[in-house]
Amino acid sequence: MVRKVLSGGEALAAKLAEIAQKVSSGATVSAGFLQPDLATIAFFNEFGTTQNGAQHIPPRPAVRNAIAENAPDWCLVLADRLAATGMDVEASLRATGEAMRSDIQLSIRDFSDPPNAASTIRQKGFDNPLVGRTKDLLNGVDFEVSDDESA
């Protein structure tokens, strides 16, 4: 790839203004559980629940763990894709959303502590606290790119 070298303040300012114009669309990417029923289940697992004043489901913060571990990498994915696509914001946000979805799913698959109760393990046939027999929660992670003109 041949890179054009900019010299002089005016050329640099013009190029930065061009880049700013391309990426100032107000578009955003969101990742997580976009279906309301799955969002509710994910919320209860993420933060835990109580029943009659006692802990019923312990917190299993797989999504928060994914964010803490991977957010810097998601920024790099976005920056790399913007550079590789000539500042195509939508394509870059889609690539970032795919990385976010994949990392959240990996965090769900790898989550192990606290484990399921013995009765849940017997019922499911295995001990993966956030993956059920149908894998609805795992497969329900998704992302969306939206173009918010008000941003």
* Percent of the chain predicted with pLDDT > 90: 64
Give DSSP secondary structure letters for 30-45: EEEE-SHHHHHHHHHH
pLDDT digits (tens, 9 = 90+) for 37-79: 999 999 999 999 998 888 788 999 999 999 999 999 999 999 9
Does 7 score more than 60 pLDDT?
no
**Does the residue 65 lie in any domain?**
yes
* C-alpha separations of 81 from 34, 59, 119 in Å: 24, 35, 46
**Does the residue 12 lie in any domain?**
no
**Does the residue 7 lie in any domain?**
no
List the one residue out of 59, 71, 38, 62 whose CA is nearest residue 141: 38
**Does the residue 73 lie in any domain?**
yes
Full-prediction pTM beyond 0.75?
Answer: yes
**Does the residue 35 lie in any domain?**
yes
Cβ-contact 67, 31 below 8 angstroms: no
Domain enclosing residue 131, as ranges: 27-147
Distance CA 16, CA 21 (A): 9
pLDDT digits (tens, 9 = 90+) for 97-144: 999 999 999 999 999 999 988 998 999 999 999 998 889 999 999 999
- Number of domains composing the chain: 1
**Does the residue 17 lie in any domain?**
no
State residue 31's pLDDT score.
97
**Does the residue 13 lie in any domain?**
no
Listed in sequence order, the residues at least 6 apart from 147 whose beta carbon sits closer than 8 Å to its beta carbon are 25, 26, 27, 90
**Does the residue 22 lie in any domain?**
no
Cβ-contact 99, 74 below 8 angstroms: yes
